[in-house]
Amino acid sequence: MSQINAYRRKFMATLGGVAVGGLASSVILRTVQAGDVPAKPADQPVSNQVRWGMLIDVNRLTDGGASMVEACKREHGWGNDPKARPEQQAQWMRTVKVTDKLTKYSFTLPVMCQHCEEPPCVDVCPTGASMKRADGIVQVNKHICIGCRYCMMACPYKARSFVHESLTDQRPHSPRGIGTVESCNLCVHRVDQGQLPACVEAAPNAVIFGDLNDPNSRISQAMKALGGSQIRADLSLNTGVRYLGL
């Protein structure tokens, strides 16, 4: 009998914890604040004092992240390469529907470059075109990318695309080039100007963006309170993009 009571107490305590957690989540993730991203003066180098990251609450994404994907497309101008076949189209970000084989529990989440601390794509790139900035943003230096696609072979998240054709009408802030590899760059052009990435702005109630190195930043506080899962945590890549509700 006492065992059952102990079990009941434990169960109620857990329920209480979940309720408090949910409340905290709604408080912490309610709004995105532009102050999360201080602008970098143009004459200053990128600092390793900060590490940019993102926390996505999958349960609060009403559309599974589709609006984030659309915002990314608009910002960087990908998604309609006229000559490429569907499997050749670039996709910097996509929504993935996950269904557990045993439990059938299902959820949808946006997947893009996870901005790993130990990025395999950077390790394998022969020229150093695939690079990680001091502030943790992983991107491709398109001037020295030779188009070997080894980074695409190495990325565990299938986050990279190869440009299969000549493109016109590109965004001036996000040039895309035939024969080079590209991927989410955390909207580096916006972040440097103190703005949030386009996808974060498109899902203000479900995503926090900020400095993972600052223990007082909202993202660090939220992760401390609620956690932040990684996709393929087994690879120990320490991703900068984290999820709640996986």
Partner 1 sequence: MSSKTMVYSELHASKVYYFILGICLALVVLGAFSFFHLEHEGHYVTGMNNQVVWGLPHVFAIFLIVAASGALNIASIGTVFRKGLYQPMGGLSALLAIALLLGGLAILVLDLGHADRLIIAMTYYNFKSIFAWNIILYNGFLALCILYIWTMQDRKMKVLYPYAGFFAFSWRLILTLGTGSIFGFLVSRAYYNSAMIAPLFIALSFALGLAVFIILLFFVYRLDKRELGDLVLNRLRYLLAIFVAAAMFLELARHLTALYIAQRHGVEQFILLEGGIYTLLFWIGQVLVGGLIPLSLIFCRALKNNHWSLLLASALVIVGGFAQLYVIIVGGQVYPLELFPNAEVQSSFFDGEIHAYAPSVWEWMLGLGGIGLALTIYFFGMVALRFLPRSLADTEVEAS
CB of 5 to partner 1, least distance (A): 35
Closest C-alpha among 150, 100, 98, 144 to residue 121: 150
Binding test (CB under 8 A) with partner 1, winner from 40, 59, 63, 124: 124
By CB under 8 A, residue 202 contacts partner 1: no
Specify the residue, 24 or 154, whose C-beta has the smaller distance to partner 1: 154
* DSSP one-letter string for 135-176: TS-EEE-TTT-----HHHHH-TT---EE--S---S--TTS--
Q: Which two tokens stand for residue 15?
A: 């329920």
Backbone CA torsion sign across 231, 26, 202, 185: negative
Beta strand 161-162 with 138-140: parallel, antiparallel or unpaired?
Answer: unpaired
How many C-beta atoms lie closer than 10 Å to residue 194's C-beta?
13
CB-based burial, 75-96: b 16+ in 10 Å, e otherwise:
bbbbeebeebeeeeebbbbebe
By CB under 8 A, residue 147 contacts partner 1: yes
By CB under 8 A, residue 102 contacts partner 1: yes
Site for partner 1 in 178-197 (CB under 8 A): 178-181
At 25, is the secondary structure helix, strand, or coil?
helix
By CB under 8 A, residue 208 contacts partner 1: no
Residue 8 carries which side chain, given as an amino acid letter? R
By CB under 8 A, residue 74 contacts partner 1: no
Specify the residue, 114 or 217, whose C-beta has the smaller distance to partner 1: 114
By CB under 8 A, residue 235 contacts partner 1: yes
Binding test (CB under 8 A) with partner 1, winner from 1, 42, 87, 168: 87
Specify the residue, 43 or 87, whose C-beta has the smaller distance to partner 1: 87
By CB under 8 A, residue 40 contacts partner 1: no
**Binding positions for partner 1, rule: CB under 8 A:** 81, 83-85, 87-91, 94-102, 111, 120, 122-129, 144-150, 152-158, 160-166, 178-181, 231-232, 235
